[in-house]
Amino acid sequence: MGMTIAQKIIKMHLVDGTMEKGTEIGLRMDQTLTQDATGTMAYLEFEAMGVPRVKTERSVAYIDHNTLQSGFENADDHKFIASIAKKHGIYFSKAGNGICHQVHLERFGSPGKTLIGSDSHTPTGGGIGMLAFGAGGLDVAVSMAGGAYYIPMPKMVRINLTGKLSDWVSAKDIILKVLSILTVKGGVGKIIEYAGPGVKTLSVPERATITNMGAELGATTSIFPSDEVTKEFLKAQGREADYKELSSDSDAVYDEEYDIDLSALSPMAAAPHMPDKVKTVEEFGAIKVHQCCIGSCTNSSYYDMMKVASILKGKKVHPDVSLVISPGSKQVMAMLIQNGALYDILSSGARILECTCGPCIGMGQSPGSGEVSLRTFNRNFEGRSGTADAQVYLVSPETAAVSAINGCFTDPRTLGKMQHIKMPGQFLIDDSMILKPAPEGQDVEILRGPNIKPFPIGEPLPENYAGATLLKTGDNITTDHILPAGSKLLPYRSNIPYYSNYCFANVDPDFPKRAKECGGGIIVGGTNYGQGSSREHAALVPLYLGVRAVLAKSFARIHSANLINSGILPLVFSDPSDYDKINQGDELFFPNLKKEVEEGQTITILNKTTGQTIKAESGVSGRQRDIILAGGALGNAKKQS
């Protein structure tokens, strides 16, 4: 029996377990990346391991999230990351050099390699044929220290692409179509592989847009073949030596297959407040638009920016619309300046932002109250933009640009014949803002600002446990719900005590106070609890507040792993209808908690308030069981040392 692309890469990097679906496997990571919103914590955890030098082929620390320096906090964090990178063998990409996923694709991504990053959109690397995973900072720290990255062996899904995109239809429309088919839960426990003759019609940046938003499917990762298109991209980046051909075997077996005819697609959009609420732009009609944002790690490539420039050239942004554009990297910005496209963009009345994530994580450019914002980003969760009642739609760069001109939702096909953009034969290469680490053994001072606080350490699992139901949530709770981002709070990502005051701020502002008064307790959730960002703060902050377990109908993969690493037990209702047997404030008792976890038994929970008994499954592997028993991954590592 043949193998898929992902199975081939897994086989080459397998260091623990067997490739049996659903069982836990450990993979060797060739590369790692961090960004500054999660990086400080990841490097504090790496320090705690006592490893003097990273053991990966290449590790890179990017500054791309918290670049707004309205106080000392972000600047101090950047200095800390720069110094620790210099000391421990990590390359450092300075603020302004670009968004981690865009720069990594340009300068470091390599077909057939494995990559783990402390950002949920690390699967962007799948666009160049990498097996790339988003994870919590501790998993990244372990990988930098030479340890394996563990996941359940995923199912394999093949999406066959046929035909060719029509004018004004783009890669964003492909992934929105996939989201309309699979939903935000449809990729859980699966690797999405794109195949078929339509693949060769897509450039690497287009492929990367699709794999980037595979995170919104809940997928373990997504991947494209590495072919002549990949080779030409790497050659244009001066990295042809990194090319490796990758394809699935003709007799590879997939668990699911879907067919998408690219020529039948129309411009699509996702309505507030979830990426799978998809309809065609035509179906939405001429909704009045107040803001358009183009950029983020999803649609900020040179290819995307040139398409936008061609639409804006000689035209003006509607007087009632704010159009903001953030190129994905210094390379992209420099090439737009060099060929005059930036002039076309500026002349239209667009605002140019720094080469950072920016508005995508609520770091500035929040819409006005109740306003409609079209964004080429990957998420439109409620409140993520920084404005609680904003109506955020996800669209392609083409749709955003033409809508900004007309002042209302507009199908870009109304523009007539499209100017086709060619990929450059040679990109402008300047790596001067990527600093190399110091030689091994050189003395480097680690710079720590006063905002960097120690991270919480969990306690070993007790024999039994009693606690209050601190919060009961509905379905699809995101990490943005658990811990908001934005310009006001992101500077405190390395200060867990301060950040804890905003846990579930957009769901129940009284949660932190209640958790402290109760001395901790349990959270009850619905399906797909913890979807979205890989931020391990969504586990570390509840840990700091004394949360011992989260009981839900189902979990997002990364968040479940982060809870376990932090020492919080993720439990799944044996019978989902038992969710209705618990109310916020109910006292829950786990009479045989430690024994049942140790022996892999169903967990018994007594609702002391109602007198009812509830059953739950821990679903942890033997390795994860040891972590939970020890009170978290760091506690387990110290126990074994």
Catalytic residues: 64-65, 119, 379, 533, 535
Rounded distance, CA 209 to CA 206, Å? 5
Nearest of 79, 121, 77 to residue 102 by alpha carbon: 121
Nearest of 64, 60, 63 to residue 113 by alpha carbon: 60
Nearest of 103, 35, 43 to residue 74 by alpha carbon: 35
Number of other residues whose CB lies within 10 A of the CB of residue 505: 17
DSSP assignment of 509-541 equals TTHHHHHHHHT-EEEE--TTBTBS---THHHHH
DSSP assignment of 393-423 equals EE--HHHHHHHHHHTB---GGGG-SPPPPPP
Q: What are the CA-CA distances from residue 595 to residues 119, 575, 600, 604, 623 (Å)?
A: 35, 21, 8, 11, 16
Backbone angles phi, psi at 491, to 5 degrees: -60, -15
Are the beta carbons of 393 and 170 closer than 8 angstroms? no
Rounded distance, CA 105 to CA 126, Å? 9
Q: Report the DSSP beta bridge partners of residue 374.
A: 292, 393
Strand residue runs (E) in 546-586: 547-552, 569-573
Are the beta carbons of 32 and 60 closer than 8 angstroms? yes
Residue the block writes with tokens 């042809």: 240
DSSP assignment of 465-508 equals EEEEEEEE--S--BHHHHS--STTTGGGTT-HHHHGGGTTTTT-
Rounded distance, CA 131 to CA 222, Å? 8
Does 78 sit behind a cis peptide bond, omega within 30 degrees of 0 on the bond before it? no
Rounded distance, CA 184 to CA 278, Å? 11
Look at residue 171 and give its three-state secondary structure: helix
Rounded distance, CA 307 to CA 125, Å? 22
Nearest of 489, 560, 488 to residue 525 by alpha carbon: 560
**Packing angle between helix 537-544 and helix 557-566, nearest 10 degrees?**
40
Are the beta carbons of 532 and 455 closer than 8 angstroms? no
Nearest of 383, 641, 621 to residue 507 by alpha carbon: 383
- At 122, the amino acid letter reads T
